[in-house]
Amino acid sequence: MSLVVGIDSSTQSCTVEIRDQISGELIGRGQAPHPATHPPISEQNPIAWWDALVLAFDEACKQKIVNKNLITALAVDSQCHGLVTLDINCNPVRPAKLWNDTSSAKQSEELVANKSSAFWIDSVGSNLGPSFTITKIAWLRENEPENFEKTKKFLLPHDYLTFRLTGNFVTDRAGASCTGYYSPQKSKWNFDLLSLVDKDRNWTNQLPVVKNPNEIGGVITSEAAKVLGLSDSVIVGPGTGDQFASSLGLGISEGDVVFGLGTSGVIFTVTNTHITDKLGWFNGMADASGRFMPIAVTLNATKITDWAARILNCDLHELDKLALDSEVKSNNMTLVSYFDGERTPNYPYARGVLAGIDNDQSRENFARMSYEGVLLGLIKAFKHLTNLGITTNKRIIVTGGGARGSAYPQILSDLLGREVITLDVEESSARGACVLAAAIATKTPVADVAYKWSPKEKSIFKPKQKVDLALLLQKYEKLSNFREMDRVSN
């Protein structure tokens, strides 16, 4: 038996899975927390990610007393978009700015105004928002010029962890698509875009090498091998972003649509051709298997239902039950859940808006409103995805923390009037990282391994309550345009 390791370094924690290289059978899983973040300024020390990786790997190996000599390959996925800055000695210059750090909203607006939304969409497949790495680089140059000058390598989070494992500066085309200076269509860095941030810097040697999905990112260093207790012959994949790894872990194909409900809300599918969304709602990313992934991300998802549970002084299980016991009426409350600002649409200074409060409302209505407030924004994106001509008639899949209860998938089914499923997979991103590791270990196309390891259906949800979705979206649309309570920009 040979084993592979998948490492998922998310915003909140690091999860490590060890799987059989051929069958994909789970052998062990470990997890370790990351430091808490506090958006809209969201930062973490990259060294903490490495420390969590070591702890999570050790825990995974203890579950079944894993023979580490059987491990042949590993791969890392991590949160997308973030900015890691390394100095001449390859040490972090400052804490990494994460995907949900919106302090670069001003720089984002300036970069778009300097050209146009259409220019950025044509150049990199996406309209810029403050999550994109290029805006964080612009922020660094403007606000911390000394740190900007000290920086010799600009990396994504998974690039940093792959560097700690291999000593190589590499990335993948999917992760590179999250930066705002990589063309998914042309499969190369666009240094002219970075020149808009600093025209005097030589950017060509300050970015990682972009690898294809089945290319090896490197061989583990003797130092990393010693820390992890591995053979120094273990190979390492180029890694990817967490949403791209999740797609592999779920085994999705063209026509499937995934609603990912975690800290953020995500909706994505895979396509064989690049899609350009001129409105900029969907980012036209490359994926981790050689295809493309239209993806839209909202900043506020399960944190909203966590908030609702605190307000109602109940746990999430009771909140689920309350929401499902609510009777759907046309005068129920409406929530726009822009608590930490919003990315899709791009309202970085927004706050949440609640309307329709009267004496007829109940705890049940309040609970259901919190779920609908998360889902309606994603459903707007789903409808836009269909309008782009993308096939969306196959499976509707709910993943993430929101898939662990019944309320999110059931209410989504009610709202769409379609069957919704969850899959028998606990950690789709870590599983997807294992797919990447198995692909390079066996020299098999990534998509083939993902298909072979496709998880089975776990639960099926069919519509139970008739919902006037058009009316709900109409009310939601009016409230989402309410800007009078937005935060003051920096």
Question: Which residue do the tokens 């063309």 mark?
Answer: 183
- Rounded CA-CA distance 223/21 in Å is 24
Q: State residue 78 phi and psi, 5-degree precision.
A: -155, 170
Q: Is 60 exceeded by the pLDDT of residue 338?
A: yes
Q: Is 70 exceeded by the pLDDT of residue 369?
A: yes
Name residues whose C-beta falls within 8 Å of residue 169's C-beta, 6 or more positions apart in sequence: 153, 155, 159, 163, 207, 208, 209
Q: Nearest 5°: CA angle at 479, between 383 and 314?
A: 90
Q: Is 80 exceeded by the pLDDT of residue 9?
A: yes
Q: Which of 159, 242, 256, 277 is catalytic?
A: 242
Residue 400: pLDDT band by 50, 70, 90 thresholds?
confident
Q: What is the DSSP string of 132-194?
A: SHHHHHHHHHHH-HHHHHH--EEE-HHHHHHHHHHS--EEEHHHHTTSSSEETTTTEE-HHHH
- Please report the sign of the dihedral spanned by the C-alpha atoms of residue 413, residue 417, residue 423, residue 426: negative
Name residues whose C-beta falls within 8 Å of residue 109's C-beta, 6 or more positions apart in sequence: none
pLDDT-wise least confident of 85-89, 340-344, 382-386 = 340-344
- Rounded CA-CA distance 53/162 in Å is 11
Percent over 70 (pLDDT), the chain: 100
The tokens of 235 are what? 């190979």
* pLDDT attached to residue 200: 95
- Rounded CA-CA distance 254/395 in Å is 10
Task: Answer whether 225's CB lies under 8 Å from 165's CB.
Answer: no
* pLDDT attached to residue 64: 82
242 is an active site residue: yes
pLDDT tens, 182-238?
Answer: 999 999 999 999 999 999 999 999 999 999 999 999 999 999 999 999 999 999 999
Whole-model pTM?
0.87
Q: Is 80 exceeded by the pLDDT of residue 489?
A: no
* pLDDT attached to residue 490: 55
pLDDT tens, 196-207?
Answer: 999 999 999 999
Class of domain 3-242: alpha beta
Q: Is 80 exceeded by the pLDDT of residue 468?
A: yes
The whole-chain average pLDDT of the chain stands at 95
